[in-house]
Structure 1
Amino acid sequence: MRQWEASDALRERGYRYASDQGRRDASWWNERDRQCVIVISNRGRVSDVVAAKPGDCGQKDKKDNTGKIVAGALIAGAVVAVAAASAEDARRKEEAERRGEYSPAKGVTCWRRERVCNDSRGRSEAWTQYEFPAPASSSPRR
């Protein structure tokens, strides 16, 4: 997951950016739940999200919030799970692009190198002709 995607996900869950925790880390605070999490990233991608103490987000620890830290860890785990799924999707997409594979519609897969398309029933002449039309004849007509 990219940093901006994690930021959007945290904002949707009521967190606000608190501060930088170093070159690659940023803390996020949820005032309603009094939860702090630290987003750890590497080269613009989130590698982990960890629950932290309110002081790590510049807040005073008003009471024992062990339960809320556990809840924060669960939220962090959800963000990391989304990040892992996003990374796997990106890897699959990159691999498909490397093979020249793409999908012009749901249930249809085409391969550029082979100039062929398949649908759920197998090879699809209609999709193949649509995606890879025969080149126009270059010889002049008489």
Structure 2
Amino acid sequence: MASYWHILKSTKRFGTDRVHRIWHEERADAVVTVGYGNQPTGPGRDKLLKYRAGDRIIVYAPGFGAVAVAEATGATPEYRPSPAPDTHAHRLPVRWRATVHRLDDAVPAHAIRRAGGYVPRSLAMKLADDVRIGSRSW
């Protein structure tokens, strides 16, 4: 089992309201998503194919912090194209293990760093297996 950071959309690019809506949609649908041009094949799909059944995925919302821990189910990523330019077409079903309802309740970057952790720099960044997020060990 591996652990990965998975980055939710950037508030700088999409705005806070849109990122809040995306988080609520992903949380309700039990999926993590990615775009990368929203082409049927390519980097978006490849990022999600990294995750294997049982892998731990920690969802990070830039500007907020860690918002969830999920387990990859082993399902194949789904491709759902949309006419909306800010919609991620690639979706991967997950099992939520812990989530925050509101992005404002995320474990912030400073708490992650204080606990000896680090925040992600890329979408599917691999973590050490014993990662701690803030004061929580997820």
| TM-score in same-fold range (> 0.5) | no
Structure having the higher Rg: 1
More helix by percentage: 1
TM-score in terms of structure 2 length: 0.24
